[in-house]
Amino acid sequence: MKELREHAKELLEKGEVSAVIGYSQVSEKRTKPIIVTDPQDTDQLVFNEYCLNNLAVYLTKARIKVSCRTKDKTLKLAVTAKPCDVHSVVALIQENQIHREDIHIISFNCHGVAKDFGFEFSGDNIASKCINCETHKPLYFDKIFGEEKETPKASDDAMERIQEIERMSHQERFEFFKNEFDKCIKCYACRAVCPLCYCQRCITDKTIPRWIESSSHMRGNFAWNIVRAFHLSGRCTGCGECERACPVDIPLSLLNRRMAIKAKKSFSYVSGRSLETPTLVGSFNEKDNDELFM
């Protein structure tokens, strides 16, 4: 913690970054995102198993706000990013939303984060994405902290549920998602927390023509959730933030993870893993698999 705070302070004092996006402690088992622009405030920064938020979301959405606050137009930001959140940073760079040279990545050797705030971090309270995590070390970083530790043992219910849904008939699958999407209240929290949902004007906000019904009607709910899943396919990095933020517990990661599995199987592509690789949806190869949705 001490090293993290000293590093952040030095970055701000030397003017190497205009702001440090990180976590601050709210209570013993809860943190919240914080954007630090004053070196004196860096003593609020923490990193632990309760740093659930994916802060990459602020690299696009908070950029304008920080730019106004600091009057700095050539903004360079430092972001505290778990190794899986680094995938989101990489995906944003791949999609030309940010430039690598404008982002200072502070990362950690990570053994997992809690599923829910307020409860002990253990095999019973571990985020599903951590159970089969393949990148406990960040693939890209400018500064790394933390010791390697063992991840608590747990089983991945989400993977079991994906397999269960795969075994369903088309009709059963339709009914399953219809029932889930019926619960949607169109709060758009899933969109707000997603680093890859960065469009300044989302299709669902357009009224002339209106592509997607804005009321939480079954037809509009279906359109919204399916359109979002397609817009994220081959792009979602699997951070799980959309599902965590959903107030009615729609298992959004079942769709997103299924799409990611398909992208990997069909195109050997995993989003946010390589700065040298073009995006899946932004590249074309004559040998591409035509049977993606079969």
What is the Cα–Cα distance from 186 to 189, expressed in whole angstroms? Answer: 8
When the beta carbons of 98 and 190 are compared against ligand SF4, the nearer one is: 190
242 binds ligand SF4 (CB under 6 A): yes
Q: Which of residues 246, 254, 263, 270 is near ligand SF4 by CB under 6 A? A: 246
Instruction: State which residue, 69 or 183, has the beta carbon closest to ligand SF4.
Output: 183
By rule CB under 6 A, what string of x and - marks binding of each residue 157-186 to ligand SF4? ---------------------------xxx
Can residue 232 be called a binding residue for ligand SF4 (CB under 6 A)?
Answer: yes
Interface pattern 46-75 for ligand SF4 (x via CB under 6 A): ------------------------------
> Under the criterion CB under 6 A, does residue 241 sit at the interface with ligand SF4?
yes
251 binds ligand SF4 (CB under 6 A): no
Instruction: Verify binding: residue 34, ligand SF4, rule CB under 6 A.
Output: no
CB 34, CB 45: distance < 8 Å: yes
Q: What are phi and psi of 264, to 5 degrees?
A: -70, -45
Choice from 79, 239, 254, 270 touching ligand SF4 (CB under 6 A): 239
Please give the structure tokens belonging to residue 20: 């440090």
Type and span of the H or E element at 172: helix 170-182
Amino acid at the residue 8: A
Instruction: Select 64 or 248, whichever has its Cβ closest to ligand SF4.
Output: 248
Minimum CB separation of residue 250 from ligand SF4 in Å reads 5
Spatial separation of the C-alpha atoms in residues 269 and 280, rounded to whole Å: 7
Among the listed residues 20, 35, 84, 263, the single contact to ligand SF4 using CB under 6 A: 84
Nearest approach in angstroms of CB 151 to ligand SF4 is 6
Residues 102-131 that bind ligand SF4 (CB under 6 A): 110, 112-113, 127, 129-130
d(CA 286, CA 269): 16
196 binds ligand SF4, rule: CB under 6 A? yes
CB atoms within 10 A of CB 164: 11
Distances (CA, A) of 2 to 6, 53, 145, 263: 6, 21, 10, 41
Q: Does 82 bind ligand SF4 (CB under 6 A)?
A: yes
CA distances from 139 to 129, 197, 294 (A): 17, 22, 33
User: Of the candidates 16, 17, 21, which has an alpha carbon nearest to the alpha carbon of residue 31?
Assistant: 21
What region does 76 belong to: left with phi over 0, alpha with psi -120 to 50, or beta? beta
Q: Which helix (H) or strand (E) holds 143?
A: strand 143-145
Distance CA(158)–CA(164), nearest Å, equals 10
Q: Does 93 engage in binding with ligand SF4 (CB under 6 A)?
A: no
| Residues of this chain that bind ligand SF4 (CB under 6 A) | 82-84, 110, 112-113, 127, 129-130, 133, 135-136, 151, 184-190, 193-196, 225, 232, 236-242, 245-248, 250, 256
